[in-house]
Structure 1
Amino acid sequence: MANDDSQSALLLRKQLKELTKNPVEGFSAGLADDNIYEWDVMMVGPEGTLYEGGFFKARLSFPTNYPQMPPKMRFISDMWHPNVYENGEVCISILHPPGDDKWGYESASERWLPIHTVETIVLSVISMLSGPNDESPANIEAAKQWREDPKGFKRRVQRTVRKSLED
Protein backbone atom coordinates (compact mmCIF):
# COMPACT_ATOMS: atom_id res chain seq x y z
CA MET A 1 0.00 0.00 0.00
CA ALA A 2 1.40 3.39 -0.94
CA ASN A 3 1.99 5.85 1.84
CA ASP A 4 -0.32 8.84 2.03
CA ASP A 5 2.45 11.30 1.18
CA SER A 6 3.09 9.68 -2.17
CA GLN A 7 2.85 11.87 -5.24
CA SER A 8 -0.44 10.29 -6.29
CA ALA A 9 -2.03 10.86 -2.88
CA LEU A 10 -0.88 14.48 -2.80
CA LEU A 11 -2.24 15.11 -6.28
CA LEU A 12 -5.58 13.49 -5.43
CA ARG A 13 -5.81 15.51 -2.22
CA LYS A 14 -5.21 18.70 -4.22
CA GLN A 15 -7.96 17.76 -6.70
CA LEU A 16 -10.37 16.97 -3.88
CA LYS A 17 -9.70 20.33 -2.26
CA GLU A 18 -10.21 22.09 -5.59
CA LEU A 19 -13.54 20.32 -6.22
CA THR A 20 -14.73 21.08 -2.68
CA LYS A 21 -13.86 24.74 -3.11
CA ASN A 22 -15.16 25.07 -6.67
CA PRO A 23 -17.86 22.47 -7.27
CA VAL A 24 -18.53 21.54 -10.88
CA GLU A 25 -22.10 21.51 -12.07
CA GLY A 26 -23.46 18.04 -12.76
CA PHE A 27 -21.61 16.00 -10.17
CA SER A 28 -20.16 15.86 -6.70
CA ALA A 29 -17.24 13.78 -5.50
CA GLY A 30 -15.84 12.81 -2.14
CA LEU A 31 -13.73 10.12 -0.54
CA ALA A 32 -15.16 6.70 0.13
CA ASP A 33 -14.18 5.50 3.61
CA ASP A 34 -11.53 8.21 4.00
CA ASN A 35 -9.37 6.45 1.42
CA ILE A 36 -7.69 8.92 -0.95
CA TYR A 37 -7.61 6.22 -3.67
CA GLU A 38 -11.35 5.47 -3.53
CA TRP A 39 -13.83 8.20 -4.45
CA ASP A 40 -17.60 8.22 -4.51
CA VAL A 41 -19.05 10.26 -7.33
CA MET A 42 -22.67 11.33 -7.67
CA MET A 43 -23.66 12.32 -11.20
CA VAL A 44 -26.81 14.06 -12.26
CA GLY A 45 -28.30 12.70 -15.49
CA PRO A 46 -27.57 15.36 -18.14
CA GLU A 47 -30.48 17.58 -19.15
CA GLY A 48 -32.04 16.81 -22.49
CA THR A 49 -30.88 13.17 -22.44
CA LEU A 50 -32.65 9.94 -21.56
CA TYR A 51 -30.78 9.99 -18.23
CA GLU A 52 -32.12 13.42 -17.25
CA GLY A 53 -33.32 13.62 -13.66
CA GLY A 54 -31.39 10.59 -12.46
CA PHE A 55 -28.81 10.57 -9.67
CA PHE A 56 -26.17 7.99 -10.45
CA LYS A 57 -23.61 6.87 -7.96
CA ALA A 58 -20.23 5.65 -9.16
CA ARG A 59 -16.91 4.69 -7.62
CA LEU A 60 -13.56 5.93 -8.91
CA SER A 61 -10.64 3.70 -7.90
CA PHE A 62 -7.22 5.21 -8.44
CA PRO A 63 -4.03 3.20 -8.85
CA THR A 64 -1.08 4.20 -6.68
CA ASN A 65 0.78 5.17 -9.87
CA TYR A 66 -1.86 7.77 -10.77
CA PRO A 67 -1.60 10.00 -12.83
CA GLN A 68 0.66 7.81 -15.01
CA MET A 69 -2.16 5.28 -15.15
CA PRO A 70 -5.93 5.93 -15.20
CA PRO A 71 -8.41 5.12 -12.47
CA LYS A 72 -11.23 2.64 -12.99
CA MET A 73 -14.80 3.86 -12.77
CA ARG A 74 -17.75 1.69 -11.90
CA PHE A 75 -21.40 2.64 -11.55
CA ILE A 76 -22.86 1.50 -8.26
CA SER A 77 -26.33 2.58 -9.40
CA ASP A 78 -27.92 0.42 -12.06
CA MET A 79 -26.86 1.71 -15.46
CA TRP A 80 -28.17 0.67 -18.88
CA HIS A 81 -25.80 2.08 -21.47
CA PRO A 82 -23.80 0.70 -24.43
CA ASN A 83 -20.50 1.87 -22.88
CA VAL A 84 -21.04 0.46 -19.40
CA TYR A 85 -20.39 -3.23 -18.69
CA GLU A 86 -23.07 -5.17 -16.85
CA ASN A 87 -20.95 -5.01 -13.68
CA GLY A 88 -21.13 -1.21 -13.92
CA GLU A 89 -17.58 -0.67 -15.18
CA VAL A 90 -17.30 2.32 -17.49
CA CYS A 91 -15.60 1.82 -20.83
CA ILE A 92 -14.44 5.09 -22.38
CA SER A 93 -11.24 5.96 -24.19
CA ILE A 94 -9.80 8.34 -21.62
CA LEU A 95 -9.88 5.60 -18.97
CA HIS A 96 -7.86 3.23 -21.18
CA PRO A 97 -4.14 2.95 -20.42
CA PRO A 98 -1.91 5.39 -22.29
CA GLY A 99 -0.30 4.62 -25.64
CA ASP A 100 -1.65 3.14 -28.83
CA ASP A 101 -4.65 0.85 -28.93
CA LYS A 102 -3.59 -2.56 -30.18
CA TRP A 103 -7.02 -2.95 -31.82
CA GLY A 104 -6.63 0.35 -33.66
CA TYR A 105 -9.95 1.85 -32.50
CA GLU A 106 -8.45 4.72 -30.56
CA SER A 107 -5.55 7.05 -31.11
CA ALA A 108 -3.13 7.63 -28.25
CA SER A 109 -4.51 11.15 -27.88
CA GLU A 110 -7.99 9.79 -27.05
CA ARG A 111 -6.65 7.52 -24.34
CA TRP A 112 -5.45 8.26 -20.82
CA LEU A 113 -3.12 11.22 -20.40
CA PRO A 114 -1.69 12.27 -17.02
CA ILE A 115 -3.23 15.73 -17.46
CA HIS A 116 -6.71 14.28 -16.86
CA THR A 117 -8.27 15.07 -13.51
CA VAL A 118 -11.28 13.79 -11.62
CA GLU A 119 -13.20 16.65 -13.21
CA THR A 120 -12.27 15.82 -16.81
CA ILE A 121 -12.97 12.11 -16.20
CA VAL A 122 -16.42 12.67 -14.73
CA LEU A 123 -17.35 15.25 -17.38
CA SER A 124 -16.33 12.74 -20.07
CA VAL A 125 -18.55 10.10 -18.48
CA ILE A 126 -21.45 12.56 -18.30
CA SER A 127 -20.91 13.38 -21.98
CA MET A 128 -20.82 9.61 -22.72
CA LEU A 129 -24.30 9.37 -21.14
CA SER A 130 -25.47 12.03 -23.59
CA GLY A 131 -24.05 10.27 -26.64
CA PRO A 132 -23.33 6.54 -26.52
CA ASN A 133 -20.57 5.23 -28.76
CA ASP A 134 -21.79 1.96 -30.24
CA GLU A 135 -18.63 1.37 -32.29
CA SER A 136 -17.05 -0.74 -29.56
CA PRO A 137 -19.77 -1.36 -27.00
CA ALA A 138 -19.09 -2.76 -23.54
CA ASN A 139 -22.69 -3.88 -23.18
CA ILE A 140 -23.64 -5.58 -26.45
CA GLU A 141 -27.30 -5.97 -25.47
CA ALA A 142 -27.70 -2.31 -24.58
CA ALA A 143 -25.98 -1.25 -27.82
CA LYS A 144 -28.20 -3.56 -29.86
CA GLN A 145 -31.34 -2.24 -28.14
CA TRP A 146 -30.15 1.37 -28.55
CA ARG A 147 -29.80 0.80 -32.33
CA GLU A 148 -32.74 -1.52 -33.04
CA ASP A 149 -35.35 -0.67 -30.41
CA PRO A 150 -34.97 2.99 -29.37
CA LYS A 151 -38.37 2.97 -27.60
CA GLY A 152 -37.47 -0.10 -25.56
CA PHE A 153 -34.07 1.39 -24.77
CA LYS A 154 -35.71 4.61 -23.60
CA ARG A 155 -38.15 2.69 -21.35
CA ARG A 156 -35.31 0.69 -19.83
CA VAL A 157 -33.29 3.85 -19.14
CA GLN A 158 -36.34 5.56 -17.60
CA ARG A 159 -36.67 2.63 -15.19
CA THR A 160 -32.97 3.06 -14.35
CA VAL A 161 -33.52 6.77 -13.70
CA ARG A 162 -36.50 6.06 -11.41
CA LYS A 163 -34.52 3.42 -9.54
CA SER A 164 -31.62 5.84 -9.09
CA LEU A 165 -33.98 8.18 -7.26
CA GLU A 166 -35.15 5.44 -4.89
CA ASP A 167 -31.66 4.20 -3.94
Structure 2
Amino acid sequence: MATEKSALLLHRQLNDLRKQGSDCFSAGLLDDNDPYIWRVTIFGPSGTLYEGGLFVAELRFPKDYPNRPPKMKFLTEIWHPNVESDGSVCISILHEPGEDKWGYERPEERWLPIHSVESIVMSVITMLSEPNPDSPANVDAAKEFRENPASFKKRVARCVRKSQEEPIWD
Protein backbone atom coordinates (compact mmCIF):
# COMPACT_ATOMS: atom_id res chain seq x y z
CA MET A 1 0.00 0.00 0.00
CA ALA A 2 2.77 2.46 0.91
CA THR A 3 4.53 1.62 -2.36
CA GLU A 4 1.39 2.47 -4.34
CA LYS A 5 1.00 5.79 -2.50
CA SER A 6 4.63 6.76 -3.04
CA ALA A 7 4.45 5.83 -6.73
CA LEU A 8 1.32 7.95 -7.14
CA LEU A 9 2.97 10.87 -5.36
CA LEU A 10 6.07 10.64 -7.56
CA HIS A 11 3.95 10.51 -10.73
CA ARG A 12 2.01 13.55 -9.50
CA GLN A 13 5.25 15.45 -8.83
CA LEU A 14 6.54 14.53 -12.29
CA ASN A 15 3.34 15.78 -13.92
CA ASP A 16 3.53 19.03 -11.93
CA LEU A 17 7.13 19.56 -13.03
CA ARG A 18 6.21 18.93 -16.66
CA LYS A 19 3.35 21.43 -16.47
CA GLN A 20 5.31 24.25 -14.85
CA GLY A 21 8.72 23.61 -16.43
CA SER A 22 11.95 25.09 -15.14
CA ASP A 23 14.81 27.18 -16.45
CA CYS A 24 17.12 25.62 -13.84
CA PHE A 25 16.75 21.88 -14.45
CA SER A 26 14.92 19.14 -16.27
CA ALA A 27 13.75 15.90 -14.69
CA GLY A 28 12.10 12.68 -15.72
CA LEU A 29 11.94 8.98 -15.08
CA LEU A 30 14.85 6.83 -16.16
CA ASP A 31 12.34 4.09 -17.03
CA ASP A 32 8.65 4.90 -17.51
CA ASN A 33 7.75 1.75 -15.55
CA ASP A 34 9.78 2.70 -12.46
CA PRO A 35 8.82 5.94 -10.69
CA TYR A 36 11.56 5.41 -8.08
CA ILE A 37 14.55 6.28 -10.30
CA TRP A 38 14.73 9.74 -11.85
CA ARG A 39 17.28 11.40 -14.11
CA VAL A 40 17.82 15.10 -13.44
CA THR A 41 19.87 17.54 -15.48
CA ILE A 42 20.87 20.67 -13.59
CA PHE A 43 21.81 23.67 -15.69
CA GLY A 44 24.79 25.31 -13.99
CA PRO A 45 23.40 28.35 -12.15
CA SER A 46 24.21 31.67 -13.83
CA GLY A 47 26.65 33.88 -12.01
CA THR A 48 28.41 30.87 -10.43
CA LEU A 49 31.49 28.86 -11.29
CA TYR A 50 29.13 26.14 -12.57
CA GLU A 51 27.41 28.41 -15.11
CA GLY A 52 26.99 26.75 -18.49
CA GLY A 53 27.41 23.23 -17.16
CA LEU A 54 24.97 20.39 -17.76
CA PHE A 55 25.19 18.26 -14.65
CA VAL A 56 23.31 14.98 -14.83
CA ALA A 57 22.29 13.26 -11.62
CA GLU A 58 20.19 10.34 -10.55
CA LEU A 59 17.59 10.46 -7.79
CA ARG A 60 16.71 7.12 -6.21
CA PHE A 61 13.60 7.16 -4.05
CA PRO A 62 12.85 4.64 -1.30
CA LYS A 63 9.55 2.77 -1.48
CA ASP A 64 8.40 4.62 1.65
CA TYR A 65 8.92 8.08 0.11
CA PRO A 66 8.07 10.76 1.29
CA ASN A 67 8.71 9.44 4.81
CA ARG A 68 12.36 8.89 3.93
CA PRO A 69 14.61 10.91 1.60
CA PRO A 70 15.92 9.86 -1.79
CA LYS A 71 19.62 9.49 -2.56
CA MET A 72 21.07 11.81 -5.19
CA LYS A 73 24.24 11.15 -7.13
CA PHE A 74 25.82 13.14 -9.93
CA LEU A 75 26.74 11.04 -12.94
CA THR A 76 28.57 13.97 -14.49
CA GLU A 77 31.96 14.74 -12.98
CA ILE A 78 31.64 17.65 -10.59
CA TRP A 79 34.13 19.25 -8.20
CA HIS A 80 32.37 20.63 -5.15
CA PRO A 81 32.95 20.56 -1.37
CA ASN A 82 29.49 19.09 -0.75
CA VAL A 83 29.62 16.35 -3.39
CA GLU A 84 31.54 13.18 -2.61
CA SER A 85 34.17 11.99 -5.08
CA ASP A 86 31.72 9.32 -6.32
CA GLY A 87 29.12 12.04 -7.08
CA SER A 88 26.89 11.48 -4.03
CA VAL A 89 25.26 14.71 -2.89
CA CYS A 90 25.59 15.60 0.78
CA ILE A 91 23.08 18.22 1.88
CA SER A 92 20.97 18.37 5.01
CA ILE A 93 17.58 17.84 3.43
CA LEU A 94 18.72 14.49 2.03
CA HIS A 95 19.73 13.22 5.48
CA GLU A 96 17.38 10.87 7.32
CA PRO A 97 14.81 12.68 9.48
CA GLY A 98 15.27 13.22 13.18
CA GLU A 99 18.18 14.11 15.41
CA ASP A 100 21.69 14.32 13.96
CA LYS A 101 23.87 11.97 16.01
CA TRP A 102 26.84 14.29 15.38
CA GLY A 103 24.94 17.42 16.42
CA TYR A 104 25.66 19.44 13.25
CA GLU A 105 22.10 19.73 11.95
CA ARG A 106 18.84 20.63 13.58
CA PRO A 107 15.95 18.21 12.88
CA GLU A 108 14.14 20.85 10.81
CA GLU A 109 17.18 21.09 8.48
CA ARG A 110 17.02 17.38 7.70
CA TRP A 111 14.52 15.46 5.56
CA LEU A 112 10.87 16.31 6.04
CA PRO A 113 8.02 14.65 4.11
CA ILE A 114 6.96 18.07 2.78
CA HIS A 115 9.97 18.11 0.42
CA SER A 116 9.34 17.39 -3.23
CA VAL A 117 11.56 16.64 -6.20
CA GLU A 118 11.51 20.34 -7.01
CA SER A 119 12.57 21.41 -3.50
CA ILE A 120 15.37 18.81 -3.52
CA VAL A 121 16.75 19.96 -6.87
CA MET A 122 16.43 23.63 -5.94
CA SER A 123 18.39 22.91 -2.73
CA VAL A 124 21.12 21.27 -4.80
CA ILE A 125 21.20 24.28 -7.13
CA THR A 126 21.58 26.52 -4.07
CA MET A 127 24.37 24.24 -2.87
CA LEU A 128 26.16 24.71 -6.21
CA SER A 129 25.76 28.47 -5.85
CA GLU A 130 26.88 28.55 -2.21
CA PRO A 131 29.37 25.78 -1.35
CA ASN A 132 29.73 25.00 2.35
CA PRO A 133 33.38 24.08 2.93
CA ASP A 134 32.76 23.89 6.70
CA SER A 135 30.70 20.70 6.30
CA PRO A 136 32.45 18.94 3.44
CA ALA A 137 31.68 15.63 1.78
CA ASN A 138 34.79 16.13 -0.36
CA VAL A 139 37.54 17.31 1.99
CA ASP A 140 40.00 17.90 -0.87
CA ALA A 141 37.56 20.15 -2.72
CA ALA A 142 36.75 22.04 0.49
CA LYS A 143 40.43 22.55 1.25
CA GLU A 144 41.14 23.77 -2.27
CA PHE A 145 38.06 26.04 -2.15
CA ARG A 146 39.40 27.71 1.02
CA GLU A 147 43.15 27.66 0.41
CA ASN A 148 43.56 27.91 -3.36
CA PRO A 149 40.50 29.52 -4.98
CA ALA A 150 42.23 29.93 -8.37
CA SER A 151 42.99 26.21 -8.56
CA PHE A 152 39.44 25.38 -7.41
CA LYS A 153 37.99 27.59 -10.16
CA LYS A 154 40.15 25.86 -12.79
CA ARG A 155 38.98 22.41 -11.70
CA VAL A 156 35.34 23.50 -11.76
CA ALA A 157 35.84 25.07 -15.21
CA ARG A 158 37.19 21.73 -16.48
CA CYS A 159 34.10 19.97 -15.13
CA VAL A 160 31.83 22.53 -16.81
CA ARG A 161 33.63 22.08 -20.16
CA LYS A 162 33.53 18.30 -19.85
CA SER A 163 29.80 18.40 -19.06
CA GLN A 164 29.20 20.38 -22.25
CA GLU A 165 31.38 18.15 -24.42
CA GLU A 166 30.34 14.77 -23.07
CA PRO A 167 26.75 15.04 -21.86
CA ILE A 168 25.24 11.95 -20.24
CA TRP A 169 21.75 11.43 -21.58
CA ASP A 170 21.01 7.82 -20.72
What is the total number of aligned residue pairs between the two structures? 165
- The CA deviation at 1:24 is 2.1
- The CA deviation at 1:100 is 1.0
**Could you tell me the TM-score, scaled by structure 2's length?**
0.95
- For 2:135 and 2:58, the matched residues in 1 are separated by 23
- The CA deviation at 1:166 is 1.0
Q: Give the aligned partner of residue 83 of structure 1.
A: 82
5+ long unaligned stretches in structure 1 = none
Show CA shifts across 1:30-88 (max 9, x none): 00022200000000000110000101000000000000000000000001000000110
Q: Give the aligned partner of residue 15 of structure 1.
A: 13
- For 2:164 and 2:60, the matched residues in 1 are separated by 24
5+ long unaligned stretches in structure 2 = none
Say if 1:24 and 1:119, in contact at 8 Å, map to a contact too.
no
Residue identity over aligned pairs, in percent, reads: 61
- For 2:165 and 2:59, the matched residues in 1 are separated by 22
Aligned Cα RMSD in Å? Answer: 1.2
Q: Give the aligned partner of residue 59 of structure 1.
A: 58
1:162 aligns with 2:156: no
- For 1:162 and 1:109, the matched residues in 2 are separated by 37
Task: After the TM superposition, list the runs of 4 or more consecutive aligned residues in structure 1 that deviate by more than 6 angstroms.
Answer: none
- For 1:133 and 1:108, the matched residues in 2 are separated by 19
Q: Give the aligned partner of residue 137 of structure 2.
A: 138
Q: For 1:43, what is the secondary structure of its paired residue?
A: strand
